[in-house]
Structure 1
Amino acid sequence: MSTDANGLAVDVRGLRKQYGDMTAVDGIDLEIRRGEVFGLLGPNGAGKSTTVEILQGNRERDGGEVSVLGTDPAHGTRAWRSKVGIVWQDESAPAELTVRETVRHFARYYPRPRDPERVIAQVGLEAKADSRVKALSGGQRRRLDVALGVIGDPELLLLDEPTTGFDPAARHQFWDLIRALADEGTTILLTTHYLQEAEALADRLAVVTRGRVAAGGTPAQLRDRFGSQATVEWTEPDGTPRSERTATPTRTVAELTRRFDGEIPGLLVSRPTLEDVYLRLTGQAGATGATGASAQGDAR
């Protein structure tokens, strides 16, 4: 199986991983094209982080075929590893060094690294270049982790829950950075619990639950396939609010227009969101108070 021949950066067939009696990954198939941003979604324990670890070559698999940049990660050479960048959930930078010292140090590990000063600027840490890592805020440390992930000029960048703990402003700035890297041709695999993040960044998505891929496609394709019904809301003449779920919202609005002879009081048409689709695919459609935007972490 060769990713070079078919234009894929990642090609996974029947991936399996067991931890004792627990099946973490149960026959996952993935195809990630070169140059795209691919989102891997799923609840805690779905198998996302285990899959990323296997793709990087840091964890052995129990079954299936895996090709990353034309190589089986289980037999990846040092040259191959230099082509794969990764940003884990946990911080990896030494606390006593400055930002500049840290990025320059990690650059020496790679045969053709990016310019450290340019990378520091890309992640928005120019003003903190001479600050020690231990003095950085949580968001700034996360930016440094990203700098270390891209300093080797990787062909593939693996991002495992990269914005957990970010405030909204920092998250949007991070998104700009990811878009810039993608525009430069870097293939990016992103695992995230934030549905808005996945929709903003990913060209295509796979939703994983119980170690299997429940569905895949572009965000629009997933909404069309698994979010068929829209909700039409309006207010009756006596002030009573009404709503109707329908697969034909345009027809419903036309009928209401005739009934009201023109303007429809309180009209609101809501189409299914990616979050609605995600909750349905992961069996959480009836859950309240716990959405993709509020979930935290992924042990595996």
Structure 2
Amino acid sequence: MTLDETSAVREVHKSSLQRPSRGYRVFQVFNAIALTGVVVATLYPIVNIVARSFSTDHYIRAGQVHLLPRGFTLTTYKALMHDSMFWTNYRNTIVYTVVGTVIALFLTTCYAYVLSKKDLRGRKFLIGVAVFTMFFSGGLIPNYILINSLGMKNTIWAIVLPNAISVFNLLVMKAFFESLPSDLEEAASIDGLSTYGILLRIVLPLSKAVMATMVLFYAVSFWNSWFSAFLYLNRSELFPVTVYLRNLIFGATSGTSVGFDRADSVTAAASLQSVAIVLITLPILAVYPFVQRYFVSGVMLGAVKG
């Protein structure tokens, strides 16, 4: 075989390797169709909810609102925007979310870092205590009595402290810390850093992905929480916005919505739930793009080890 023939055979072989097989092309087509269906199924409810929030009651009840508003109206939004209690409760939600996320992240990080040390005495017991709470709890009435006896009723602490540590988040962060090279900590210890110095100057800078993931998990949890506030708070000026909107929807069904006169309440009743969903999810949707790049990597890295 001549040199030219050899080169030609190599080119043909190379092109055959680069050309995707028929089965792979079929897979790509089905994959594209499946992902398109997932995107449509995910986006349609969101677009529909936004359209319903700007539509009048008549078209919503008739089932004529799909992707675009029908009978465009801002009645519900205007009533909420002019209600001072709405803004008070919205501010409460922001405060509860920020304070609760900071406390939860601090406690979870400290606990997870301790559990990641395999030579720690009593490590299995501490892990068992945490895992036990995933399956068993004290119950609603004992928890209420405990919160009341501690004097935390009608305070922010009744919202942020009982939910300060999520065991799932704890185990994810523990697994992430265990995946970090131990040589880094040993070298830092030889250089004279204390345990807290190693955590602050070595471990946390390497844990941005999992930290961002935990912030997102905790922030969403506190932002959407309403039952704890409904249970432990009796004063409306302390309610988070989720409880306000829950009461608003409940009042709309009986024609006595907060911030609405009787006529407006009947007109806006069918769109109240949509407006509530839009107002609750909007801040989370605004924050998510900034932490999205850390989200998947943080969960995957934390799931490397069990």
1 or 2, which has the higher strand percentage? 1
Higher fraction of helix: 2
Q: Which has the higher contact order (CA 8 A, sep 6+)?
A: 2
